[in-house]
Amino acid sequence: MTLFPLINQKKNLDYLRNIIKNERVGNAYLFYGPEGSGSEGFALEFAAMLNCGSESESPCGSCHSCKKMHCLEHANLEMVYPIPIRKDQGSDSDPFKKFTNAEIEEIQEIIQKKAQNPYSKIIIPKAKHIPINFIREIKRKTYLRSQESGWKVIVIFDAHLLTEPAANAFLKILEEPPEKSTFILSTSNINAILPTISSRCQPLFFPALAPSHLRDYLLTKNVPEDHIKLIIRLSAGDVNQAINLLDADIETFESMTLEIMRAVAVWNVKNIYNYVESLTALYREDSTQFNQVLLSVSFWFRDAILLKTQTDPEELVHSNLQEEIAKFVNAFPEFDPYFALSSVENCIDFINRNVYINVALLNLFFNLFQSLNSRKIL
Ligand SMILES: [Zn+2]
């Protein structure tokens, strides 16, 4: 059992337990892995493990320390995250000095969400970096004598967003680390961490969650069975995205996929243009969802191969579209799924490289039409 609702990563959990059992707690760790793999939540769990008053291997959940940790209000826990940088504030001042009460309240709400769901991110509007004064503030607090016994744990979320001066200030702390304290840097972008920092931290990799673990988790959230596969596929092991998709109307992905495929199959130019326009708007509003719509279209082709090769229909991602995909396979027996799949990948790649979105989409739709190998003449 863990204090926070965490999913799997058993190997890492055992590793952290052994560190405590063998009394070999280091000064600095670097927890890294793709978004939603749990590196942030496990950093908080480690803080709870280090401070729990019971003798048990896992935080007991009922002692004074565990109760405080559970709501992220423990005096031994410091959290650092990107915040908006105000122009006229000095580098030594309290990083939150220029924030209004409403802004502070908003941050507190975001932190409470994190306490309930360790996978939710602390994202503060307009925050792009972790400024130096946040690190200086932490330094000041860490060297103060703690009111609490146990270990001080400083978790730096999105550590790749430390500004260079902030990273250097952090390095200074590591040169003379305060007693009984440990720093945990968490990141989904290890390549953006300065080598001078990563070389001083013990690394711990958190792989993306396996579909089976994500599936078990989604089952506890009462997700209908016929949506689970699509959610798992669209979220690619990121629990956060899976949680967002729970709130999203998953049927929209299915209906959009079906409509796009219909427009492509009959090459209805007016509908194609409408889709280019609405997808371009979607990209500007929510690029993650845009990618998910394109992925959803690529799963249509993947499912079509499965049906064509008479694989167990249980394997289909779009299980709700089985009938329509079967009709598609009958109507276009010569379709080229590999060309279709690579066209979707290329389209996402083009857009990431700033090719005009509408040009990339038009090209995609034309390629998808070509991939049908229909004898229909344009
Ligand atoms: Zn406890």
Structural domain ending residue among the three candidates 178, 208, 238: 208
The string of pLDDT tens digits covering residues 23-72 is 999 999 999 999 999 999 999 999 999 999 998 889 999 999 999 999 99
- Round to whole Å and give the CA distance between 155 and 115: 14
Residue 197 and residue 280 in one domain = no
CA distances from 21 to 57, 210, 353 (A): 8, 28, 48
Residue 43 and residue 173 in one domain = yes
User: Which pLDDT score, from 0 to 100, does residue 121 have?
Assistant: 92
Maximum average pLDDT range among 182-186, 266-270, 285-289, 302-306: 182-186
Structural domain ending residue among the three candidates 158, 192, 208: 208
Residue 189 and residue 267 in one domain = no
pTM over 0.85: no
Distance 185 CA to ligand 1 centre (A): 24
In terms of Cα–Cα distance, which of 326, 40, 84, 350 is closest to 206?
Answer: 40
User: Which pLDDT score, from 0 to 100, does residue 377 have?
Assistant: 47
| Percent residues over pLDDT 90 in the chain | 68
The string of pLDDT tens digits covering residues 300-359 is 999 999 998 887 777 888 988 999 999 999 999 999 999 999 999 999 989 888 889 999
226 belongs to a structural domain:
no
Residues lying with their CB under 5 A of ligand 1, a single-atom ion: 52, 54, 59-60, 63, 66
Residue 267 and residue 191 in one domain = no
Distance 81 CA to ligand 1 centre (A): 26
Residue 139 and residue 265 in one domain = no
Residue 129 and residue 73 in one domain = yes
Structural domain ending residue among the three candidates 146, 180, 208: 208
Of the chain, the end-to-end C-alpha distance in Å amounts to 61
CA distances from 343 to 91, 255, 274, 297, 351 (A): 49, 21, 20, 11, 12
143 belongs to a structural domain:
yes
By mean pLDDT, which of 168-182, 237-251, 340-354 is the weakest? Answer: 237-251
184 belongs to a structural domain:
yes
Residue 118 and residue 41 in one domain = yes
303 belongs to a structural domain:
yes
Distance 136 CA to ligand 1 centre (A): 30
The string of pLDDT tens digits covering residues 78-127 is 999 999 987 766 666 788 888 899 999 999 999 999 999 999 999 998 89
Number of folded domains in the chain? 2
By mean pLDDT, which of 12-21, 87-96, 200-209 is the weakest? Answer: 87-96
Question: Which range marks the domain in which residue 365 is found?
Answer: 249-371
Residue 283 and residue 180 in one domain = no
Distance 71 CA to ligand 1 centre (A): 13
Distance 57 CA to ligand 1 centre (A): 10
Distance 115 CA to ligand 1 centre (A): 16
With 0-12 CB in 10 A as exposed, 13-18 as middle and 19+ as buried, what is 87? exposed
Distance 126 CA to ligand 1 centre (A): 36
The yes-or-no verdict on residue 246 having pLDDT over 90 is no
Q: Is 72 left (phi over 0), alpha (psi -120 to 50) or beta?
A: left
